Chain A
Amino acid sequence: MTVNELIEKTGLEPLCIPCPEREISGVYNCDLMSVVMSKGFSGAAWVTIMANINAVAVASLTDMACIVLSEGAAKDEVMLSKAKAQEINVLMSCEPIFETSLSIYNALKNA
């Protein structure tokens, strides 16, 4: 399933989608950068509350498909401009991390 299809299926709010056709390989959760850096995986939809430029850098380093800001994490304009420059997709949800992740998981399972 691509990031674009995920948006259609789940209604997640797109904040910055430079690569809409990127394939999603699974869901990943974590809010500590140092852990994400070693455990994040290629193609992941990373559900987190970390709305900052370091999140973009880590998503780029680990080749994730998209960052999904949950819990209505504050939109950060600096983060979004960095995401655009690094070609990292960023989506948003007002739901908690578990519910957000579950909806992505279900969308992937039923794809």
Chain B
Amino acid sequence: MLSLSYDLHIHSCLSPCGDDESTPANIVGMAYVKGLDVIALTDHNTAQNCIAAKEVADAYGITLLCGMEITTDEECHVVCLLPTLEKALELDEYVAKRLMKVKNEPAIFGNQFVMDSDDRIIGEREHLLINATSIPFEDVFPLVENMGGVAIPAHVDKSTTSVISNLGFIPPDCTFKTAEFRRLSNVEAFRENHPYLRSCKIITSSDAHYLGDINEPQNFLHAKENSPEAIIDALLNPRIIE
């Protein structure tokens, strides 16, 4: 098994709340400089900046998982990681049809720029991307898994937009095997109140909206090889229960 440093929750300038300096090229470059083995680009409800990020990641030789952070019907955030860019764009299309159609007001929410790999703006998303989709929380997991990916409830210890903050509990029919925390120091208390989490692998990522917030190579996961498929497999079928 390989030990891989990771940051699997990063926003680019396409997320309205993401800094305009967080272009796909800058994010991958920053991850490379920091020495991270694997990163994921997870903008709110879209994977469109993964096209540029993938190009840069391939050039740098860093593993990039293409994905997005879906806002469910209940406004719970779920990080979705796909094995290929094509699958991520397929999910993008599915989600776009189910996103609430409210026009973005850049002055209030921020810009939503689609970039190329040379930091040029090549498009702008019209509808506000942080909004809710009509996808129920429990449907995200089979949806993404059927595309060969993995869905992970985001920042379950956050006081807003997490499954626990918004639903108050983890739905009993859930099957996810990995959960994301903002702070590992919260894990024990949450496992006490939500025993389901005892059966989960816990990961922690930056949820960076600014370049400087991307994690140092300080968190590690174990996979058979450094590839999107092997990392997704490690998150879907964790062997080590902490």
Contact = CB atoms under 8 A, between A and B. Distances in A.
A32 interface: yes
A67 to B, nearest CB: 14
Contacts of A57: 108-109
> Do most interface residues of chain B lie in helix, strand or loop, or is the interface mixed?
loop
A15 interface: no
A50 B100 contact: no
Contacts of B40: none
B132 interface: yes
A33 interface: yes
Nearest to A50: B160
Interface residues of B, number: 14
B222 to A, nearest CB: 35
Q: Which of A38, A50, A61 has the most CB of B within 10 A?
A: A61
A61 B132 contact: no
Interface of A: 32-34, 37-38, 50-52, 54, 57, 60-61, 74, 86
A51 B100 CA distance: 22
Interface of A is mostly: helix
B130 A54 contact: yes
Given A38-B102, A61-B108, A32 B160 contact: no
B159 A61 contact: no
Given A32-B75, A50-B160, A61 B100 contact: no
